[in-house]
Amino acid sequence: MRRTLGVLAALALLGGVTYALIPQDDPGGDIVTVSGLIGSEKRDFFQDPQVVAELAKQGMKVNAESIGSWLMDGDAKDFAFPASQPPADKLRVDWNIKEVPVQPFYSPLVILAHRPVADVLMGNGLATLDHSTGLWTFRMDAYLAALKAGRTWPDLAGATEHAELKGPVFLTTTDPETSSSGALHIALLSYLLNNRQVVYDQPGIDATKDVLRTATAIQGGQKSSSDEPFKAFLAGVGNPLVLAYESQAAAMALKGESTGDMVVLYPDTTIYTDHTIVGRTPNGRRLAAQLHDNAELRRLEAKFGFRPQDDPDAFAALVKGKTPVLAPNLAAAKVNQPQIPVPDILTRLIKAAKGKAQ
C-alpha cells in the first residue's frame, strides 16, 4: 500500500512555530513520535515530504517547534536542535547529558547583498570578487574600520547612485541573546577586535565591548529568528547587508527559486555553524543518529543547503553552476575560522554587546 504523507498546518505557540510531520497511513510497523525544538532555518527541511517519508520509513514521526537557539529548554522534549554548539553545550549541562551530541551538518555564516550593493562594497575596498570562480569575499577588517569610524553609505564612492543606500554601514543580525547566528556574530567580532585571538577573560571583554555595543545598538530592534531578516532581505526592505546562514541562500538556489540579484559574500574570517542535536531521550538520540548516518537523509540535508559532516561533496555537487555562486568547499572561499569563546565568556560578551551589566 502506498504511504501518503501529510503535514499539519503551522501553529503559533510560545513565540515559535509548531508542526507535526505525520505519515497519514502507516501500512505496518510501529512509528514512534519524537518531539523537539529546532531553529527556524531547519523548518523547511523537517517539513519536506521526502524527509517525512524517510523518517517514517525508519519508524519515526517528528513533532517540532521552531524557536531561537538560546531560548531552547524543552524539559518535556526528546531533543533540541540549535544552530550551533554553544546553546547545545548549555542544554547538555541543563539536562545532565553525558553523551557527546551529534552534529549532522554545518553551514557557514555569510553576508547577503544585492549586486549593486556588492559592487559599491568592492569599489570601496570592503569586498572583492574572484572573477575566475565568481566567489565574493567580504573584508572583515575593512568593515570593522568603517564601523569604528561611523562611515555611512553616502561616504562610499558610488553609493549616492542608489537611493536605498543611506544611513550607517552595518550588518543586520539576529538578537544574540536568543539566536545562534546573532551570538556567533558577537563571537566573530570579538575575535577580530582582540587581535585575532579568542577572548577568554575580562580584559578581552573590556577591550572589545565598545565596538560590540556599537555593532548591536546601531541595528535597533533585532529579531529572534534568522528567518525574519532573511525574508525582509528577499522582499527588498530593511538594511542592505544581512548576516545569514549560507544554507538559506543555497536552499533557494537548489529549489530553483528566483534569488534575483542576490550575492553571497563569504567573510574572509567567519564561523561555521555546527548544527548540533542534543538527544534527551533514547528516541531523541535515535533521531540524531539517523540525521548523521542515514545516506538518504544526508542527501536531503544537502538539498536544503546544508553541508553534511560526513559527505561534504554532496553539497558541492548540487550547487555547481547555481545562482547565486556558492563555494563548493570553504577552502575555495579562502575563509578562516576562529574558535568560539567558552559559554561563560560568550554570555558575558553578549551582555556587553547589549549594554547590560555582566
DSSP readout, 128-168? EEETTTTEEEE-HHHHHHHHHHT-BGGGSTTGGGSTT--SB
Q: Where in the chain is the domain with CATH 3.40.190.10?
A: 5-106+274-315
Quickly state the pLDDT bin for 73 (edges 50, 70, 90): confident
- The answer to whether 187 and 236 have CB atoms below 8 angstroms apart is no
Report the pLDDT value the prediction gives residue 178, as an integer from 0 to 100.
Answer: 92
If you average pLDDT over residues 129-138, what whole number do you get?
96
21, pLDDT greater than 60 = no
The Cβ of residue 219 has, within 10 Å, a number of other Cβ atoms equal to: 19
Report the distance separating Cα 333 and Cα 327, nearest Å.
Answer: 6
Average pLDDT over residues 217-246: 92
Statement: residue 314 has pLDDT above 60: yes
Q: Are 327 and 266 in contact (CB under 8 A)?
A: yes
Determine the Cα–Cα distance for residues 29 and 59; give it in Å rounded to an integer: 7
**Is it the case that residue 295 has pLDDT exceeding 80?**
yes
pTM of the model: 0.88
Write down the mean pLDDT value for the chain: 89
Q: Are 105 and 301 in contact (CB under 8 A)?
A: yes
Task: State the CB neighbour count (10 A cutoff) for residue 141.
Answer: 12
Q: Is the pLDDT of residue 75 over 90?
A: no
Q: Does domain 108-271+335-353 have CATH number 3.30.1310?
A: no
Cis peptide leading into residue 154 (ω within 30°): no
The domain defined by 5-106+274-315 folds into D-Maltodextrin-Binding Protein; domain 2 (3.40.190)
**Look-up of cell digits 528516541:** 283
Residue 136 CB coordination number (10 Å): 24
pLDDT at 29: 59
Mean pLDDT throughout 331-354? 92
74: confidence class by pLDDT, cuts 50, 70, 90: confident
